[in-house]
Structure 1
Amino acid sequence: MIPQIAFYLPLIVLLLLFLASAIKVLREYERGVIFTLGRFTGVKGPGLILLVPMVQQMVRTDLRVVVFDVPPQDVISHDNVSVRVNAVIYFRIMDPERAIIQVEDFLGATSQLAQTTLRSVLGKHELDTMLAERDRLNSDIQEILDTRTDPWGIKVANVEIKDVDINETMVRAIARQAEAERERRAKVINAEGEQQAAAKLLEAAVILSKRPEAMQLRYLSSLNVIAAEKNSTIVFPFPIEFGRFLKGRGEEGKG
């Protein structure tokens, strides 16, 4: 009995090793790129996969979205400002065959392409554009990456610029620029108010000049306002018509 067990034991071990190398199980989000004697023969999965040991090999690929953090990049903007920018990229494999065959390391290739594209695109824009129009820049970078990675069977779903870091000197310069802009707007608004007030005063002068009695009523209205404030100084308007009357009487006396 023992000699028989010793005879069959190596066969059982070989059978188990054969089954272990022949049977593969792929999860729902995985695919297997199959090579038979070095030649591509298809993509299989998910589920149970049977391979011919020593003849067929399988390369696993993950179809889930990959989140890749682009390292901070030193960028010189179009207006010669040095900034450090980092971003995050979301992409996934759409064609496992091309992702394995067309490029040696699709993760490394996508990473390097993302870094160079980030520097290239942002270098064409000024600092104000980087800070205010991130959505448009994200769209431009995503479109370029998606076009260049399409031959590798990769789809770039989204690109987000995370941080735009500038040095302390430039931060102070931007603060001074913002302060000067606010002062400019205040002066413009004040000048526009003076212009509108002058226009209204001119219209009022034209209306009052048509009837001398209206000017006298305006004097009385001003006196009423001043008296309501309880000031110690009393202002009494001198009628223009009375001044003209006295002037006329004086000329008659001289004649």
Structure 2
Amino acid sequence: MGALFAILIILVMAGFVGLGASARVVRQYERGVVFRLGRVHGPPREPGFVWIAPFVDQMRKVNLQIVTLPIPAQDGITRDNVTVRVDAVVYFRVHDPVDAVVEVQDYEFAVSQVAQTSLRSIIGKSELDDLLSNREALNQGLALMIDSPAVGWGIEIDRVEIKDVALPETMKRSMSRQAEAERERRSRIITADGELQASHKLASAASAMAATPSALQLRLLQTIVEVAAEKNSTLVLPFPVELLRFLENATEKPAAQEGAAETNGARELPERPPPPPPVTATTVPPPAHVPRTAPANGG
């Protein structure tokens, strides 16, 4: 009786052990691949409570969530002979759990290695400007290069993003000087365009004011008022050009009248008498004989 009770206890314990060995729980984001005696048995198990044959079946759970896999920074030389260091990140997920378990030993490590080699290849095929400004096309090309071998492993590449492009210090300085020169060029072009437009407007305004000189005077007075309102300082008032022309015309008229009067007066004066002839000196001859006087002392 005691032996029978012991056997019963052993059988119950074996049943509990077998039940624990055959019962599995698969989460919502997982799928269970069952191997029976080393072979894949049936389709992957769905989420929930799953029973398998104890001591015969083995189940391996595969995560179907999107995996974020960083790609280590890779050194390379671009097509225009610039040494760069580029790192990226790959987003992928498993769409076929059986292939992910059977076709490749470690699908995460395999995707990482393919991503690194593909990144080096895309660096060598691209130029520096593409790496800096045209990353969208490079990301798509890199995703296609990684997705080509990953399809056979049951892996689906969601997207690939280039994170950072590290440049040498000399190249950074060169690009800084280039950007500065480009900004200076744009500044000069904008300034020149502004001056050209302003000159056209000023020419139009000058043409309009030339027909009405009073408008020019009003504009001058308005400018004086604006300057005096903004800055309380001494103003230098320019002399109007019209006033100069008026004074010039006013001075030219009296001078012309005087010149005409002098010409007419010279024509009306009578002729002056000729001057008398010059007086010439005459020579007086000496007397014919002068008597000689005797000396006073009688000698």
SS at match of 1:79: coil
Q: Matches of 2:197 and 2:233 in 1, distance apart?
A: 31
Query: How does the TM-score come out when normalised to structure 1?
Result: 0.77
Q: Tell me if the contact between 1:87 and 1:160 (Cα under 8 Å) persists in the aligned partners.
A: yes
Mean Cα deviation higher: 207-216 or 190-199: 207-216
Query: How does the TM-score come out when normalised to structure 2?
Result: 0.68
Q: Tell me if the contact between 2:228 and 2:235 (Cα under 8 Å) persists in the aligned partners.
A: no
Q: Matches of 2:9 and 2:182 in 1, distance apart?
A: 88
2:74 maps to 1:79: no
2:18 maps to 1:27: no
Find the counterpart in structure 2 of residue 231 from structure 1: 234
Mean Cα deviation higher: 120-129 or 164-173: 120-129
Q: What is the deviation of 1:178?
A: 2.1
Describe the shift of the 1:251–1:150 C-alpha distance in structure 2 as closer, same or farther (beyond 3 A). farther
Find the counterpart in structure 2 of residue 110 from structure 1: 111
The letter of the residue matching 1:114 is A
Q: What is the deviation of 1:225?
A: 6.0
Q: Which has the higher contact order (CA 8 A, sep 6+)?
A: 1
Q: What is the deviation of 1:221?
A: 5.2
The letter of the residue matching 2:240 is P
Q: What is the deviation of 1:53?
A: 2.6
Q: Matches of 1:91 and 1:39 in 2, distance apart?
A: 27
Question: Matched residue pairs, number?
Answer: 254
Radius of gyration: which is bigger? 2
Q: 1:49 aligns with which of 44, 48, 51?
A: 51
Q: What is the deviation of 1:107?
A: 1.4
Find the counterpart in structure 1 of residue 39 from structure 2: 39
The letter of the residue matching 1:161 is I
Q: What is the deviation of 1:95?
A: 0.9
Gaps of 5+ in 1: none
SS at match of 2:65: coil
Q: Matches of 2:89 and 2:161 in 1, distance apart?
A: 5
Q: What is the deviation of 1:63?
A: 1.8
Q: Tell me if the contact between 2:209 and 2:216 (Cα under 8 Å) persists in the aligned partners.
A: yes
The letter of the residue matching 1:68 is L
Describe the shift of the 1:118–1:242 C-alpha distance in structure 2 as closer, same or farther (beyond 3 A). same
Q: What is the deviation of 1:190?
A: 1.0
The letter of the residue matching 1:237 is P
Find the counterpart in structure 2 of residue 155 from structure 1: 156
Describe the shift of the 1:62–1:217 C-alpha distance in structure 2 as closer, same or farther (beyond 3 A). closer
SS at match of 2:41: strand
SS at match of 1:235: coil
Q: Matches of 2:90 and 2:142 in 1, distance apart?
A: 10
Q: Tell me if the contact between 1:227 and 1:234 (Cα under 8 Å) persists in the aligned partners.
A: no
The letter of the residue matching 1:48 is V
Find the counterpart in structure 2 of residue 243 from structure 1: 248
Q: Tell me if the contact between 1:82 and 1:166 (Cα under 8 Å) persists in the aligned partners.
A: yes
Q: Matches of 1:221 and 1:28 in 2, distance apart?
A: 82
Q: Matches of 1:216 and 1:246 in 2, distance apart?
A: 23
Q: Matches of 2:226 and 2:256 in 1, distance apart?
A: 37
Describe the shift of the 1:184–1:23 C-alpha distance in structure 2 as closer, same or farther (beyond 3 A). same
Q: Tell me if the contact between 1:70 and 1:111 (Cα under 8 Å) persists in the aligned partners.
A: yes
Structure 1, residues 27-85: CA drift from partner, whole Å, max 9, x if none?
A: 3333222233443332224322313535x443332222222111111132343322212
SS at match of 2:85: strand
The letter of the residue matching 1:159 is V
Find the counterpart in structure 2 of residue 208 from structure 1: 209
Aligned residues: CA RMSD: 3.5
Q: Matches of 2:131 and 2:248 in 1, distance apart?
A: 70
SS at match of 1:174: helix
Structure 1, residues 196-226: CA drift from partner, whole Å, max 9, x if none?
A: 1111122122223334554455555556667
Describe the shift of the 1:27–1:212 C-alpha distance in structure 2 as closer, same or farther (beyond 3 A). closer
SS at match of 2:240: coil
- Percent identity over paired residues: 41
